[in-house]
Amino acid sequence: MRSDQVKKGVTRAPHRSLFKAMGYTDQELNRPLIGVANSFNEIIPGHIHLRTIAEAVKAGIRMAGGTPIEFGVIGVCDGIAMGHEGMKYSLASRELIADSIEAMTSAHAFDGLVLIPNCDKIVPGMLMAAGRLNIPSLVLSGGPMLAGELNGNQIDLNSVFEGVGAEAAGKITPEELAEIEERACPGCGSCSGMFTANTMNCLTEALGMALPGNGTIPAVDARRLRLAKRAGYQIIELIKAELKPGEILTKEAFTNALAVDMAIGGSTNTILHLPAIAHELGINLDLNEINRLSAQVPHLCHLRPAGLHHIQDLDAAGGIPALLATLAEQNLINLSSRTVTGQSIGENIKGLKKQEQEVIRPLNNPYHKRGGLAVLFGALAPDGAVVKQSAVDPAMLVHQGPARVFDQEEAAISAILNGEINPGDVIVIRYEGPKGGPGMREMLSPTSAIAGMGLDRQVALITDGRFSGASRGASIGHVSPEAATGGPIALVCEGDLIQINIPAQSLDLLVDQAELEKRKAHWQQPAPKVTRGYLGRYAKLVKSANTGAIIDV
Omega before residue 305 within 30° of 0, cis: yes
Q: Where are the beta strands (DSSP E) in 353-505?
A: 373-378, 381-388, 398-406, 426-429, 460-463, 475-480, 497-501
C-alpha span between 233 and 47 (Å, rounded): 22
Could you say which DSSP state residue 318 is in?
T
3-state DSSP assignment of residue 218: coil
Contacts of 39 (CB under 8 A, 6+ apart): 47, 50, 72, 73, 74, 75, 97, 116, 117, 118, 122, 126
C-alpha span between 107 and 368 (Å, rounded): 49
Could you say which DSSP state residue 406 is in?
E
C-alpha span between 372 and 294 (Å, rounded): 7
Could you say which DSSP state residue 498 is in?
E
Label the pairing between strands 67-72 and 33-38: parallel
C-alpha span between 399 and 380 (Å, rounded): 14
C-alpha span between 64 and 236 (Å, rounded): 6
Phi, psi of 490 (to 5 degrees): -70, -20
Q: Is 159 a catalytic residue?
A: no
Q: What is the DSSP string of 5-35?
A: GGTSSGGGHHHHHHHHHTT--HHHHTSPEEE
Contacts of 170 (CB under 8 A, 6+ apart): none
**From residue 223, how far is each of 208, 226, 320, 337 by CA, in Å?**
20, 5, 15, 26
User: Whose CA is closest to 262, among 199, 204, 305?
Assistant: 199
Label the pairing between strands 153-155 and 67-72: unpaired
Catalytic residue among 93, 190, 468, 480: 468
Q: In 44-195, which ranges are continuous DSSP H helix?
A: 50-63, 78-81, 88-108, 122-133, 157-168, 174-183
What DSSP element (H or E) covers 418?
A: none
Question: Is the alpha carbon torsion for 320, 324, 327, 332 positive or negative?
Answer: positive
- Measured from the Cβ of residue 402, the count of other Cβ atoms closer than 10 Å reads 14
3-state DSSP assignment of residue 352: coil
Task: Check: CB of residue 403 under 8 Å from CB of residue 495.
Answer: yes
- How large is the angle between the packed helices 287-296 and 251-264, nearest 10 degrees? 60
Note the Cα 98 to chain centre separation in Å: 15
Question: Is the alpha carbon torsion for 218, 223, 225, 231 positive or negative?
Answer: negative
Could you say which DSSP state residue 528 is in?
P
Name the residues annotated as catalytic.
468
